[in-house]
Amino acid sequence: MKHSLASARKRLSALVFSCLALCFAAALHGQAIGSTLNGVVLDEQGKGVYPATVTVRNGSGAAKTTKTDGSGHYSIEGLPAGTYSLAVIANGFATGSKTGVTVAAWLGG
């Protein structure tokens, strides 16, 4: 049975991204200087998605963007403590998103 390009693209776009985000803060000399959001973008088979664009946006609309590496990992540094939304875009996949990602500041000690 033949599948058209549109049908194949539709099947691919039905894949769901698995965005695992781990938040932790960076500290220098006991003062919080911002937090780092690390994660990995995976396809349904658990393989890292590359290239993918990852954007985090705070409640006022300010955003930071990065790209995944060859294994689907990403890191966004210098985030003030707060609540963020996360969006992931990659060719051939539906846009993945997550809201309510909390980034907390940590004062080292």
User: What is the per-residue DSSP string for 42-100?
Assistant: E-TTSPBPSS-EEEEEETTS-EEEEE--TTSEEEEEEEPSEEEEEEEE-TTSPPEEEEE
Residue-level pLDDT at 29 = 32
Read off the CATH number of the domain in which 96 is found: 2.60.40.10
Residue-level pLDDT at 30 = 36
Q: In whole numbers, what is the pLDDT of the chain averaged over residues? A: 75
Check pLDDT > 60 for residue 9: no
How many domains does the chain divide into? 1
Q: Is residue 73 part of a domain?
A: yes
Task: Give the separation between CA 107 and CA 70, rounded to whole angstroms.
Answer: 32
Peptide bond just before 80 cis, omega within 30 deg: no
- What is the model's pTM? 0.71
Averaged over 41-54, what is the pLDDT? 93
pLDDT in tens, 62-85: 999 999 999 999 999 989 889 999
* Residue-range definition of the domain harbouring residue 32: 21-103
